[in-house]
């Protein structure tokens, strides 16, 4: 039985994340989607509980996927939930620097946990939660890149 963890801010979850989750869920018995609840995190559009709810709704049809929130070191959460793999999406070369440092730091902290990088479908390589928020808040249509309920939630935020 191999458990894996896909951590991130998921502010909010996008079709790019869902693409990675679909691919990763085929490889592991259990995949945890770990939504980060960092005290010191930069400004988020959605609270951690809203980010968890949006992700949970998007993934309700996937039996071996569970959405959790976590605070503190990622490797500690992996140890607690018996996850031997950390899944991360790699879109463009620009992701590499950050991901490389994070993967090696996590390996320093626990050499038994493997970071696995996956590429989303190429139609999502330019998509990020930040860009989706920016464009949506300025009135652009992002329906291609997020599930319907996420689009509605972003719209509600824009109207506030
Ligand atoms: O979606 P993001 O913002 O790129 O996700 C970053 C995240 C949450 C995966 C990363 O910041 C993280 O793992 N935070 C938990 C704290 C931790 O373990 N930091 C050391 C990572 S080397």
For the stretch 55-86, pLDDT in tens is 999 999 999 999 999 999 999 999 999 999 99
Average pLDDT over residues 108-131: 96
Cα-to-centroid distance, 159 and ligand 1 (Å):
30
CB 9 within 8 A of CB 133: no
What mean pLDDT value characterizes the chain?
Answer: 95
Among protein residues, the one with the nearest Cα to ligand 1's atom 22 is 102
The torsion angles phi and psi of 42, rounded to 5 degrees, stand at -60, 170
- pLDDT of 33 over the 90 cut: yes
Average pLDDT over residues 134-160: 92
Q: Whose C-alpha lies nearest to ligand 1, atom 16?
A: 73
pTM above 0.85, yes or no: yes
Nearest CA to ligand 1 atom 17: 73
């Amino acid at each position: 039985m191999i458990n894996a963890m896909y951590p991130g801010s998921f502010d909010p979850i996008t079709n790019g994340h869902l693409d990675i989750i679909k691919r990763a869920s085929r490889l592991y018995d259990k995949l945890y989607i770990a939504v980060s609840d960092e005290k010191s995190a930069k400004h988020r559009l959605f609270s951690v509980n809203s980010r968890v709810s949006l992700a949970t709704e998007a993934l309700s049809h996937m039996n071996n996927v569970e959405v959790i929130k976590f605070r503190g070191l990622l490797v500690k959460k992996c140890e607690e939930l018996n996850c031997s793999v950390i899944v991360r999406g790699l879109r463009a070369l620009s992701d590499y620097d950050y991901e490389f440092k994070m993967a090696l730091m996590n390996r320093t902290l626990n050499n038994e946990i493997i970071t696995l990088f996956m590429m989303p479908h190429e139609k999502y390589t330019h998509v990020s939660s930040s860009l989706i928020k920016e464009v949506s808040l300025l009135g652009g249509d992002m329906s291609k890149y997020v599930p319907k309920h996420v689009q509605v939630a972003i719209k509600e935020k824009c109207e506030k």
